[in-house]
Structure formats: C-alpha cells, structure tokens
A = this chain, B = another copy of it.
Amino acid sequence: MLKEYKNGERFEGIVLVNEWKEVPFRQKPGAFLSLMCQDRSGVMQGKMWEYPPQILTWLREQDIFLIHGVVSEYRGALDLTIEDMRMIPKEDVDLTMLLPCSPISEIELETRLRVLLDKIHRPELGKLVGQFLDHPEWGRAYRLAPAAVKIHQAYLRGLWEHSVRVTELADGIAGHFPGMDQDLVLAGALLHDIGKIGEYSYDRGIKFTTEGRLLGHIVMGLELLSGEIAKISEFPQELRYKLLHIISSHHGKYEWQSPKRPKLMEALVIHYADVMDAELYQFEQAKASHPDDDWSPYIPSMERYLYLK
C-alpha cells in the first residue's frame, strides 16, 4: 500500500488518480504533471517531470493506473516521482484496494448484523429484512456502499457500518420505553438508509449519481423498500405504511429533506439514533485525527468546535 513506503524506496503498484493538473514552471517554459495518487491506505502526491502527450488523454478517460516511481521526502512530506504509468482495465482491480474502507472488518460487521437480525421476531419483518440483505444485488451493495460523500463514514462499507451502529443504538434506546415495537425499530433502523445504495457511485471515488441528485436516498429508499414488500404476500398494510414512514421521516426535519416528521415512537427513536451516530462519529474522527489537541478545528456541519479531552 502507498502509505507503507519510505523515503528513497521504489514504488510499483496500482493507484486511483482522481485529480491531476499540469503545473507550469515559473521561469522557464514547460510544465510538470501533478497527480493525486490514492489507494486504500491513503493519498500521496505524485509528480511527473516529463510525460508524453498521450498521458493527458489517458487521464481524461481513465483513472486506474499501474505506477512505477520513487518515493522521496520533500519539505517533511513524502511524495512520489513517477517514472512510468500504464492503464489498467477497471475489471482487473479490486475496488477495496483503491478506496478507503470501514475500519471494522467484514466478519465483525456480519456478526453484529446477524445478532440484530435474530432479534426480529415478527415473521413478516424478519422475512423482509432477510430477503433484502440476501438479495444478490442489494445485499452486496448494502455491504459495500459508503454512508456519505463526506462528513460521516464516507468510505466503502460505510453504509453497512452505519446501519449496524444505528440499529444497535436504536434498539438499546427503544428498550427504555414501554409500548415500543422493538421489531419495527430493528427492521426500520437496518433499512433506514438503503436508498444510499444508489445515491452514490463509488467505483472511482465517492460521488453523487444523477439519480441520487434528482431523487435522493429517502425517495430511492422508499422505492426499494416498496418493491421488496410487494414480493411478500399479505404483508400487513399498516406495517407497510409504518416502515415507509420511518424512511420518510428519518432525517427528522423538513429542512433536512424529510418530507414527514416522525409521528411514530419508533420513527422518533430511529431518527435520534441516526443523528447521534453521525454526530458522535464526528467526535471519534476528530479525536483520531487530532490525538494531541484539546480542541478540534471548527466543524461546519455541527457549527462548533469539539472538545476532545
């Protein structure tokens, strides 16, 4: 992995190049090529001092390359002097090698997911969630998609991690309140963000899809869920409304793009579990990135500085 190399070592490996530009020299003609090289371990700036013109064409069309070069230290940071780069067919590459990924392992996520699934007693709900998670396409995407473009869990398997965390939290909260339909909380929390499967593309960096921008993950999640429910004969009508309402209302406020505010106890709990997971994730990230500081930098999404001690 890119970030494991040290000053002076030769590097040979596959990287994703999402950003690049030609940088003109200041006082002589010509320019060099600056490329942001990324694999799962992180990002390293690359420089190519001489390059054939066709490389610009490749860069416009492709983003995965086999790179040869030398790592060297430049003003305290490492960068990569690239000697050669070649195109690699996308099909030959394992995406999780190139993009950042949840720090929680697949085995752990699957185990925690199964624990949650086993707690759902009502057959229709168990069947619905199971069917979705075992769906050849949805199940795989659910376990691979990021949870966001930035802000929280913006990496592969982020949706899976976020869904498991929110469900565990919501389940715990629900247990404090009599009259709560715990099965509905479990199923609703596991499914609340499924629309994110299609809201982002993540085959080359994490970006919004056109469908994601036009419809958003709430509307897309409603469609997915509606389609899955339709496959189960005699699924109770009211239960259906409730699940759709949970997806509709999980952002909690109109201003946050929820077309409904939570009107069920279960929807309320899922909304707050979702908000808390996202906000506390900010603390976790800030602590990890600034292990020696008392205060985080200003966090725009939370409109405040966080105290890290």
Q: With A and B bound together, what is the CA distance between A259 and B219 in angstroms?
A: 8
Interface residue from B172, B258, B272, B306 paired with A259 (Cβ < 8 Å)? B258
A interface: dominant SS:
helix
Q: A222-B219, A295-B210 are in contact. Are A175 and B177 (CB under 8 A)?
A: no
Number of copies: 6
Tell me the chain A residues, 189-219 only, with Cβ under 8 Å from chain B. Answer: 210-211, 213-216, 218-219
Interface membership of chain A positions 144-168, coded 1 if the CB is closer than 8 angstroms to chain B and 0 otherwise: 0000000000000000000001001
Chain B residue, CB-CB nearest to A276: B272
Asked if A89 lies at the interface with its beta carbon under 8 angstroms from chain B, I say no
Is residue A83 within 8 Å, beta carbon to beta carbon, of the partner chain? Answer: no
Q: CB distance B248 to A219 under 8 Å?
A: yes
A284 adjacent to B172 (CB under 8 Å)? no
Q: Which residues of B contact A238 (CB under 8 A)?
A: 210, 309
- Distance in angstroms from A66 CB to nearest chain B CB is 27
Q: Is the CB of A242 within 8 A of B258?
A: no
Inter-subunit contact B176/A307 (CB<8 Å)? no
The contact string, 1 if C-beta is below 8 Å from chain B, for chain A 21-48, is 0101111100100000000000000000
Closest residue of chain B to A237, judged by CB? B211
> Are A213 and B263 interface neighbours, CB within 8 A?
yes
B168–A172 contact, CB under 8 A? no
Chain B nearest CB: distance from A174 CB in Å?
10
Count class of interface residues, chain A: 35 or more
Judge whether A123 is part of the interface by a CB distance below 8 angstroms: no
B244, A265: Cβ atoms closer than 8 Å: no
Query: B248 near A215 (CB under 8 angstroms)?
Result: yes
Which residue of B has the minimal Cβ distance to A172?
Answer: B172
Contacts of A26 in B (CB 8 A): 25-27
Residues of B within 8 A of A268 (CB): 276, 279-280, 283
A97 on the B face (CB < 8 A): no
Instruction: List the B side residues contacting A219 at CB < 8 Å.
Output: 219, 222, 244, 248, 259-260
- Asked whether, in the complex, the Cβ of B210 is within 8 Å of the Cβ of A294, the reply is yes
Interface residues of A in 96-145 (CB under 8 A from B): none
Which residues of B sit under 8 angstroms from A223, Cβ to Cβ?
222-223, 226
User: Do B261 and A241 have beta carbons less than 8 Å apart?
Assistant: no
Does A61 interact with chain B (Cβ within 8 Å)?
no
10 contacts between A and B (CB under 8 A): A25-B26, A179-B283, A211-B241, A214-B264, A215-B244, A215-B248, A219-B260, A259-B259, A263-B304, A269-B276
Minimum-distance CB pairs A-B, first 4? A214-B245, A257-B259, A263-B307, A214-B241
